[in-house]
């Protein structure tokens, strides 16, 4: 196993632990008053739940929805449609830069075109992780 395979395996494990923690926290303390950052605004007329990666470079990551996790990767900005239903409470996602640049990578969870959560990194090979109650 080379360094990157080990690193990706480690990140995947951490992502799964984060997902379980968020799911457990939502079940124990359901929040009826969702707080949204004041900087959040409508970005388009999309419907449904999406994860958006904003980065001028190559990246890879993972998205969890409806009890499954899938790997995602790309170059440049990408919007990923999620399969959510009434039983979906938590959506989690992460994205990691594949380069050592200081450019900012941003990941967002959107619902009906509005940003629910956002996270960014500008560190070399940095990773942004988010989860949101949808």
Distance CA 130, CA 120 (A): 9
* Mean pLDDT taken over the chain: 78
Q: Which residues of 109-125 are buried (b: 16+ CB within 10 A; e: fewer)?
A: bbbeeebbbbbebeeee
Whole-model pTM above 0.85? no
- H or E stretch at 113: none
Residue 83: pLDDT over 90? no
Q: To the nearest whole percent, how much of the chain has pLDDT over 90?
A: 54
């Amino acid at each position: 196993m080379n360094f990157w395979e080990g690193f990706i395996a480690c990140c995947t494990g951490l992502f799964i632990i984060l997902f379980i923690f968020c799911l457990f926290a939502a079940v124990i303390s359901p929040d009826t008053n969702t707080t949204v950052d004041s900087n959040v605004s409508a970005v388009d007329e999309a419907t449904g739940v999406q994860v958006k990666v904003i980065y001028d470079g190559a990246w890879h990551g993972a998205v969890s929805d409806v009890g499954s996790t899938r790997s995602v990767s790309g170059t440049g900005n990408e919007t990923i449609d999620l399969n959510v239903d009434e039983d979906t409470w938590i959506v989690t996602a992460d994205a990691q830069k594949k380069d050592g640049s200081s450019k900012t990578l941003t990941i967002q969870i959107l619902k009906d075109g509005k940003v629910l959560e956002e996270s960014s990194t500008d560190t070399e090979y940095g990773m942004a992780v988010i989860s949101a109650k949808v």
